Structure formats: structure tokens, C-alpha cells
A and B are shown apart, each in its own frame.
Chain A
Amino acid sequence: MELLLSLQDVSYAYHNLKGETPALSHISFEVSQGEFLAIVGPSGCGKSTLLSIIAGLLTPEQGDLFYKGQYITDRGTDSVMRVGYMPQRDHLFEWRTIYQNVILGLELRHELTPERRDYVLSLLDEYGLYPFRDKKPSELSGGMRQRAALIRTMAIRPDLFLLDEPFSALDSQTRLNVSADIAQIIRSTDKTALLITHDLPEAVTLADRVLVLSKRPACVKREMPIRFSLDRSDPLGIRNTAEYRLYFNQLWEVLTNEQSEIHTG
């Protein structure tokens, strides 16, 4: 598989008058085209900082980023690599209709061509939101809102999806279905995705590979490829397999070691 994104020795620290707080320490990893990579770690370990760096909102203090071999460390948010960021809540704007919400990215990039408009409408149609295109977000269910948020991200045809705990605002039952739903859509379009989560079952169920980060300052603690003999479309079925339990237990051990180190040290 083609190499899409690589991080080399990336470090970052936050500064204030009381001193500096290191958030990331010498992080290196690679993401291949079409891969679904999950990043898990103790809460507050710097996962969101990592996402901001990949999204181009922050420039690392040390280390470099490459997109298909091209140097992109201090590119800002311009479009060498198109990032499709999905925040923790759907953040659909209540003062816009669903259609106006999903074309937001195209509007901001001045790319609202008739061809793109048709693409967005076809996405709405494909994911069952076409009849709701003129409704306000508040009239939609949680799952439909997530789909609208995903279409808003897909509309700009991103090279990389950045999912920042995108399901954490949903109740657990909806979450299970919606996360499987969203992952399925991303997979079927052969898109690359980077999912940040503190939910281990979610990471194991959805990802091709799981990266475990240490406590702050975060470094890569463990990298584990995940393979199932079963089809991924059934999140509950996957969670009942022996493979799932094996992966889960191994990752759980790494994470709990990390947690206990926090408590004892």
C-alpha cells in the first residue's frame, strides 16, 4: 500500500508563565493509503494535540510531517493535504439547513461548482438524507446528524479523515451503530482515516491498526495490527469473536500498565 502520511520524531509542548508542559515526545508513525488507524491513550495524554498538528492547526516544535513524501510540517491549513476533520460533537450549525451545513467546506474553499453540488446531493441521497436537506439540524436524530457531519467532511474530498472521538456525544446504543455505519462508509470509499478515541472496544472493532500512546508527554507505546476473519460490518458479531478478546486483552494490558504508572508515579 502507498504511504500517505508519515510523522517523524514529532514533539510539542505548551508554554505558559508557570513553565512548559510537554504534550508529545518524539512521536513517529506512518499511515498508508486506505488504512483505518486508531489512536488510543489515557485521557489528557495529548491525543488532541496530535490531531491539531496533523490538521495543520499547530506546527510541531520538533520533528517533521510528510504527505506522500512531500514536506508539510509548517504548511498551515492550506490544501497540500486535504484533511477532513470530524469534531467530538457534530457541530452542525442550527442557523443553516442540512444542505447549507454540508456545503460549508466547499463554500469556505470557494469550490461550490455545479459538479461539486451534484456530488454533495448524491452523497445526501446515498446516505438517506436527501429528503431532509431543507430541514434544520435540530429536526434530525443523533445518527442522522452524524451522517450529515460526515457528508460535510466528505464534500471537500479529503485525503485523510481525522476523527476526534466523533461518537463520544452519543448514547452507547446509538454509538455502536453509528460508529460501525460511519466506518463502513469510510471503508467503502477507500478513504484513509485516523480515529482518536479512549474507547478501546471501538478502536479494536473499527481499526486496521491500533496505536497506543503513553501518558503525557505522549510517545508511541505499542502498535498493533488488527485482523478479523469476520466481516467488519457487524460490530456486535465482531465483539463476540475470540480474536476480538485477544486483541482487547493485549491492548488493555498495555493501557492499564500506563494508567497504574500514572497512579504510582
Chain B
Amino acid sequence: MNSPRSTQADGISANQRLFLKAHRHHHHVVALSRFLLAAAFLILWEAAAAMGWIDPFFFSSPSGIAGCLWSMIADRSFFVHTGITLSEILISFVLVTIFSLSAASLLWYTRGLAEVLEPYLVVLNSLPKSALAPLLIVWLGTGTDTIIVSGISVAVFGSVINLYTGFCQADPEMLKLIYTLGGNRRDAFLKVIFPSSIPLILSNMKVNIGLSLVGVIIGEFLAAKRGLGYLIIYGSQVFQLNMMITSIIILCVIAMIFYKLIQNLEHCYKKKY
């Protein structure tokens, strides 16, 4: 008989084995519960629509959404609209990342500039960016430019402030070390500030991809002829609830995939260091 304290041949004690088993069990319960919750919701929704408890004209139904998705894939419009929205999100995300990194670096490099610009950045950041969208239409017309700029405008100011604040929190002793070893401010940035800020930059990217998506959809609501945002607005005008909800679900999936991708990048970085 093994007492719970005894150690097995493979070097794992019985207690550790019990712990691992309980841990796995817990995870299975959580995963199963998540799945059941989603399944119950879908079944209830479908049943409610079929039994006439809710009007599927206003509330759609899972089967209606699946049918809509299938017909969108069949007539290729799924790829056109998703592709356009995806590329707009990506372009504005990349531009936000490049611009906010350069701007925050410049602000750190020239301290006076940061002091002068600070109140403007704060005002621009707290401004509801959707208020700018109609202005962008007047300036840039209805089209991809407006949508991309709208995506940028939502994320960029907060991103600059966030990165600049992070840059300023670098350990002053490390900077002192660089200066006494003969380095200048540029060295301090390249050898200390930037490499020590990589976790911050990655988490900042995670926020930015979500905000770019918000901005792009706002832009598409107002100034698009194609894209998922356009489909949502069009669907609401012609009471095509299936189309609206399908587009929203595609957006959810896109947001989730982007988030996961950057999270994986973070994990890779953490594993390396």
C-alpha cells in the first residue's frame, strides 16, 4: 500500500499526483462550463425564435445567422468585406504603432518638448474621437483614407502618452550607469529605455489593436461602401438583422485573433527573457 507521502518510481510524489489531478479536473470543469453556457444560450435563442417567443425579424436566430454566413461565403462577399475591414485595421494599427513609438521617443529625448505638448496631448486623448469622424469626411472625403485616419485617431494619443510615461519610469540608476560608462542620452535610450520597455510596448500594442478596430468601424459607419461596419449600418437600414449580427460576430472573431496573436508574441518574449 502506498501512503500519500510515498514517492513513486517516476519521482513524482503521491501528493503531487493528487494536486495535478485536481488541477486538471478543475480546468476540465471550467472548459466544459464555458462550452455549456454558449450551447445553452444558442439553443435557447434558437428555440425562442422557432417557438415564436421572440420575433426573429428583430432578434434574428442562430440558424438564420449561420445561413447568412454561408450565403456570404458562397457569393464571396464575406471575403471582400472582411478583407477590407481587416486591411484597414492592420494599416491603422501599424501606423499607430510606428507613429506613437517615434513620438514618445522624441518626447523623451527632448524633455522641454514633452512639457510644452503635455496639455495638448491630454486634451486630444480625452476628446471623444467619434466626434472627429464627420470632420474627417469633410477633409478627406468618403473612402479608405477617412476610415484609416479615424482608426488612428482613436488609438494614437493615448498610446503616445502611455509609452512616454513608461519611458520616463526607467530606473535612474541604470541611466547613471550608462552616463558614467561614457554613454550619452542616445545611448541611454537605445541601451536601457527601449529594451526595458519592450513588455510595455507589447501590452500597448494589445490595447491599440482593439482601439484601431473601434476607430475603423466608426469610420466605416460614416464613410464606407464596403466593409463590416458598412454591412452593420446597411443591415440596420434594410432590417437585415441576420446580416448585422453576422458582421458583429465576425468582428468579435477578428478582435480575438489579433489579441491572441500579440499575446503569443508576449509569451515568446517572456520565455526568452
B180 beta carbon closer than 8 Å to chain A: yes
Given the interface pairs A87-B176, A91-B174, A108-B187, the reply to whether A156 lies near B196 with Cβ below 8 Å is no
Pick out which of these stretches binds chain B: A77-85, A190-198, A223-231. Answer: A77-85
We find that the number of chain A residues with CB closer than 8 angstroms to chain B is 26
| Cβ B180 vs Cβ A85 within 8 A | yes
Q: Which residues of A77-117 are within 8 A (CB) of B?
A: 77-79, 83-85, 87-89, 91, 93-95, 104-105, 107-109
| Cβ A108 vs Cβ B173 within 8 A | no
Least Cβ–Cβ distance between A52 and chain B, in angstroms: 8
Q: Which residues of B59-90 are within 8 A (CB) of A?
A: none
Minimum CB distance partner of B195 in chain A: A95
| Cβ A109 vs Cβ B177 within 8 A | no
The prevalent SS among residues of A at the interface is loop
Least Cβ–Cβ distance between A199 and chain B, in angstroms: 19
| Cβ A57 vs Cβ B176 within 8 A | yes
| Cβ B181 vs Cβ A88 within 8 A | no
B118 beta carbon closer than 8 Å to chain A: no
| Cβ B177 vs Cβ A87 within 8 A | yes
| Cβ A88 vs Cβ B173 within 8 A | yes
| Cβ A156 vs Cβ B171 within 8 A | no
Contact string, A135-174, partner B, CB cutoff 8 A, digits 1/0?
0100000000000000010001000001000000000000
Q: Report Cα–Cα, A109/B196, bound state, in Å.
A: 21
Least Cβ–Cβ distance between A80 and chain B, in angstroms: 12
Given the interface pairs A55-B180, A108-B178, A156-B182, the reply to whether A94 lies near B273 with Cβ below 8 Å is yes
Q: Report Cα–Cα, A211/B171, bound state, in Å.
A: 29
**Candidates B171, B183, B195, B198; contact of A91 at CB < 8 Å:** B171
CB-CB < 8 A to B177: which residues of A? 85, 87, 91
**Candidates A57, A79, A94, A152; contact of B182 at CB < 8 Å:** A79
CB-CB < 8 A to A94: which residues of B? 273
- Interface centre among B180, B182, B192, by most chain A C-beta atoms within 10 angstroms, is B180
CB-CB < 8 A to A136: which residues of B? 273
A sample of 22 cross-chain residue pairs with beta-carbon separation below 8 angstroms, ordered by A number, consists of A56-B180, A77-B180, A85-B176, A87-B173, A87-B176, A89-B173, A93-B195, A95-B195, A95-B196, A104-B181, A105-B181, A105-B182, A108-B178, A108-B181, A108-B182, A108-B183, A108-B191, A109-B182, A136-B273, A156-B181, A156-B182, A162-B180
Chain B residues with CB under 8 Å of chain A are 171, 173-174, 176-183, 187, 191-192, 195-196, 198, 273
Q: Other than the known A78-B182, A79-B182, A84-B180, what 13 A-B pairs have Cβ atoms closer than 8 Å?
A: A52-B176, A57-B179, A77-B182, A87-B176, A91-B173, A91-B174, A93-B192, A104-B178, A104-B181, A105-B182, A107-B191, A152-B181, A156-B182
